[in-house]
Amino acid sequence: MSQATNQSWGGRFSEPTDAFVARFTASVSFDQRLAGQDIQGSIAHATMLARVGVLSDEERDSIIDGLTEIQGEIERGEFEWSVPLEDVHMNIEARLTQKIGITGKKLHTGRSRNDQVATDIRLFMRDAIDSIDAELMRLREGMIGLAEREADTIMPGFTHLQTAQPVTFGHHLLAWQEMLARDHERLLDTRKRVNVMPLGAAALAGTTYPIDRHVTAELLGFSRPAENSLDAVSDRDFAIEFASFSSILLMHLSRMSEELVLWTSAQFDFIDLPDRFCTGSSIMPQKKNPDVPELVRGKTGRVYGHLMSLLTLMKSQPLAYNKDNQEDKEPLFDTVDTVLDCLKAFADMVPAIEPKKESMFEAARRGFSTATDLADYLVRRGVAFRDAHEIVGQSVAFGLKEKKDLSEMTLEELQQFSDTIEADVFEVLTLEGSVAARNHIGGTAPDQVRAAASRALEALKAHREAP
Ligand code: ARG
């Protein structure tokens, strides 16, 4: 039927669709991915139509049996997708009619492809969100576990990528996990607005059949039918929201990736990544490249791109459905695939990070990272903070000249800059003393890190057990 006009709407046409136009307007090459959701939606629709007496029970059963067989054909790769049939919806409907005859043509009663496709995408998004939820949970759990194990591991904390103050590696990891916890909240919040049912809106204005949208919504697990038919078939803001969640998540993963890349370099030498997450160079035999984090960092770009596509796709569209919306699928599918892959990569990789504790400790010791602790020590002994700042600045200048960290100087050397300094100063100049002193909620002290990790695990557990 390649030259024929599409049977589903050909009635008012006097010439066949141009072959190029048929190919240009078809979406079946990519929307066949929605086949499972399309069949699920159709089964619920037919069930509801029988419940309200629009279809007989026999017709409903015949439709459901036919659709179930088609599902099997698709899963086994036997289904023949046809471009002239335009999209997933008409491909499945045509096959149904081929199988069960005239009853197949009754399935579309009280429905339009406009509410059908909007329903399919929302079902697809809901499944995708649930898979992403599970993967985020796995990643966060692994990250918190590593943070707990590394609660005492000291590393330099940075501002401007310059050594600032010592922190614990566990504290750094829990900073990452806080980012992910917020992303997770955004995901679950998006799910609430995804899980609303367009079906029943029909083309745009609703339908004259005595449908019961609450029945269909319940059968499909939606929280409620969409309130307004014009809005239900047209807006894709839920997809934009999902892409924006994804962009923020990938932004966070790209920051973590960047740190992993830096830390595996010889210049930092803070961690090792197991070989299975790295690749070699075809020319330089010594190389072990952190490809996985680099690729996650790179994939951030395409997800930002999809967010821009979807925002621009929706911009200025008049109510209600417009064909523009067919363009929502490819960016959405790729966003889902990319997010799931990146989360999987991270969830597998993070628990396998091997910190090089001595090297981290050495780096923290070298960078005058306890300078603020010395200033605080002087302030506790009555020196004004600005004066203390000046005294420590002179001590650091001396250390730079003599190539000595503050804790390596003798008491006499330190006393050149202030006679307020006494022997107990060395308690605050050690890295262990410095981190242990930041002992309040949100601080880097090992005890605080352990407490924060257990709170984070509790929160995850509560989410997992939530209904
Ligand atoms: N393939 C279309 C889409 O993805 C389905 C809806 C078509 N509706 C229409 N009135 N042409 O949006």
What's the pLDDT tens digit per position in 6-52? 767 777 888 888 899 999 999 999 999 999 999 999 999 999 999 99
Quick one: 146 and 240 in the same domain?
yes
Beta carbons of 303 and 338 less than 8 angstroms apart: yes
Q: Does the beta carbon of 114 lie inside 6 Å of ligand 1?
A: yes
Can you give the pLDDT at residue 285? 78
pLDDT averaged over the chain? 95
CA distance readout (Å), 319 to 200, 216, 232, 323: 17, 24, 10, 12
Q: Is the CB of 108 under 6 A from ligand 1?
A: no
Q: Is 402 exposed, middle or buried (0-12, 13-18, 19+ CB in 10 A)?
A: exposed
| Active-site residue flag, 160 | yes
Nearest-CA residue for atom 12 of ligand 1:
326
User: What are the 10-residue block averages of pLDDT along the chain, 467 residues in total?
Assistant: 60 86 96 98 98 98 98 98 97 98 97 98 98 98 98 98 96 98 98 98 98 98 98 98 98 98 97 89 82 97 98 98 98 98 98 97 91 95 96 96 92 96 92 94 98 97 87
87 CA from centroid of ligand 1 (Å): 8
- Is residue 325 within 6 Å of ligand 1 at its C-beta? yes
Q: Kindly state if the Cβ of 93 falls inside 6 Å of ligand 1.
A: no
Number of domains in the chain: 3
Q: Which domain holds residue 379?
A: 367-465
Whether 249 is covered by a domain: the verdict is yes
Domain-located, residue 104: yes
Residues 56 and 121 in one domain: no
d(CA 38, CA 28): 13
Same domain, yes or no: 246 and 388: no
Residue 15 domain flag: no
Please tell me whether residues 293 and 335 are part of one structural domain.
yes
Q: Which of 146, 171, 184 has the alpha carbon at shortest distance from 464?
A: 184
Q: What is the pLDDT of residue 5?
A: 63
Q: How many residues does the structure list for the chain?
A: 467
95 and 176 share a domain? no
The domain that contains 126 carries what CATH number?
1.20.200.10
Burial class for 145, CB neighbours closer than 10 Å (0-12, 13-18, 19+): middle
Q: Does 390 lie in the same domain as 345?
A: no
The per-residue pLDDT for 3 is 45
2 included as an active-site residue? no
Per-residue pLDDT at 10 = 77
Pair (307, 324) in one structural domain: yes
The pLDDT, as a whole number, for residue 4 is: 52
The pLDDT value recorded for residue 2 is 41
Residue 17 burial (CB count, 10 A): 20
**CA-CA-CA-CA dihedral for 390, 395, 400, 401, to nearest 10:** 110
Neighbouring residues of 446: CB distance < 8 A, sequence distance ≥ 6: 151, 152, 168, 170, 435, 436
> Residue 261 has what pLDDT?
97
